[in-house]
Homo-oligomer: A and B are copies of this chain.
Amino acid sequence: MGYGNLARGVESAVLSSGDMVLKAVFTRRDPSSVRTRSGVKVLGASRAGEYRDEIDVMVLCGGSAADLPEQTPRAAAMFDVVDSFDTHARIEEHFRRVDESARAGGHAALIACGWDPGLFSMQRMLSAAVLPRGKDYTFWGRGVSQGHSDAVRRIPGVRDARQYTVPVPEAVEAVRAGNAPLLSVRQKHTRECYVVLEEGADPEAVREAIVSMPHYFSDYDTTVHFITAEEMERDHREMPHGGFVIRSGVTGMAGKHRQLIEFSLKLDSNPEFTGSVLAACARAVYRKRRAGNVGCFTMADVTLAELSEKTGKELRELL
């Protein structure tokens, strides 16, 4: 459902899996205006109901702000579904609404899939379960933040913008050294903005508007670079991202042995990677439902065997 960057990531992930087939793309746009990369058919969103019997899992590729809070509960009444709802603070609320609707329809839903929330959440759960005496650190980047890029684009005088979130190397090193430091927001990440100005805009005013913007930039050290539209197109078209989840803990009677668990991602393409996670989650929700489970689930409730294309025997023998 939907055909933006994330949906194209799901499309190519499904094509490279051995046990899934992409049946159709549904869009709220005029279907004749959408051309899929794989050539799979495009249908109007309102026709989804006609495909109930042909579709095992509906992957919802809309945004968390406006689309998914409505779309996921509605779709879960009719299909087994997967979404990438990523507003951390509202996951419990979203969960409750999707759970109610999925139970009413006898379906299974897997929400908040992706890498944060998603794989990063899994690592936080795993490492906290193993090291209860410890502290979590999450660093994001170096990578493009869509939300922050959009915030800069809304400033008068800005024609285009790209914002990179960058972990502070000294902070990462201090955590990896097992020192379990206390770190402020400013000490963990810096922000880098690349901005194409409208003709006649005042760079100093734009710079000031960015670095002083509350919530988004005022708590960070932010660097602003003004570039041309050609440079933007040449150097900032890709959507790399990544990050680290580190748990720094201790074990033993005296708590004197330091233990460090780190999970990191280095991604050339954020939407293709997130799409790949959604595809694996589609497999998991299919299996959950076939095993008789209904209602809403998160990555906390999924087994690795459910996510994997391999059989249990293959997993035990190979991995």
Interface residues of A (CB under 8 A from B): 9, 12-13, 15-18, 37-38, 91-92, 95, 112, 119, 121-126, 128-133, 176, 178, 238, 242, 251-253, 255-269, 272-273, 275-277, 280, 283, 298-305, 307-310, 312-313, 315-317, 319
Instruction: Please indicate the chain B residues that have their CB under 8 angstroms from the CB of A38 in the complex.
Output: 253
Instruction: Please indicate the chain B residues that have their CB under 8 angstroms from the CB of A9 in the complex.
Output: 251-252
CB atoms of A251 and B12 under 8 A apart: yes
Instruction: Please indicate the chain B residues that have their CB under 8 angstroms from the CB of A91 in the complex.
Output: 316-317
When A251-B12, A272-B257, A312-B300 are in contact, do A130 and B125 touch as well, CB less than 8 Å? no
CB atoms of A132 and B17 under 8 A apart: yes
Residue among A125, A132, A251, A253 with most chain B CB within 10 A: A251
Instruction: Report A36 CB to chain B, min CB distance, Å.
Output: 11
CB atoms of A300 and B309 under 8 A apart: no
Residue among A16, A126, A258 with most chain B CB within 10 A: A126
CB atoms of A305 and B312 under 8 A apart: no
Instruction: Please indicate the chain B residues that have their CB under 8 angstroms from the CB of A319 in the complex.
Output: 121, 124-125, 128, 300
